[in-house]
Amino acid sequence: MSNFNKVLLMGNLTRDPQLSYLPSQTAVVEFGLAVNRKWTSRDGEKKEETCFVDCRAFGRTAENINKYMSKGRPLFVEGRLTFDTWTAQDGSKRSKHRVTVENFQFIGGASGQGARQTEQNAGQADSQVEPNRNSDDIPF
- Residue-level pLDDT at 10: 97
* Interatomic CA distance for residues 15 and 12, integer angstroms: 9
| pTM score of the predicted model | 0.73
pLDDT per position as a tens digit, 23-49? 999 999 999 999 999 999 999 999 999
91 vs 109: which has the higher pLDDT: 91
Q: Per mean pLDDT, which range of 11-25, 97-111, 126-140 is the poorest?
A: 126-140
Question: Domain 7-86+94-122 classified CATH 2.40.50.140?
Answer: yes
Q: What is the mean pLDDT of residues 74-102?
A: 95
Q: From CA 12, how far away is CA 29, in angstroms rounded? A: 16
Residue 110 — pLDDT band, cuts 50, 70, 90? Answer: low
Rounded to whole angstroms, the Cα distance separating 63 from 72 reads 18
Domain ranges of the chain: 7-86+94-122
Dihedral sign for Cα atoms in the order 120, 121, 122, 123: positive
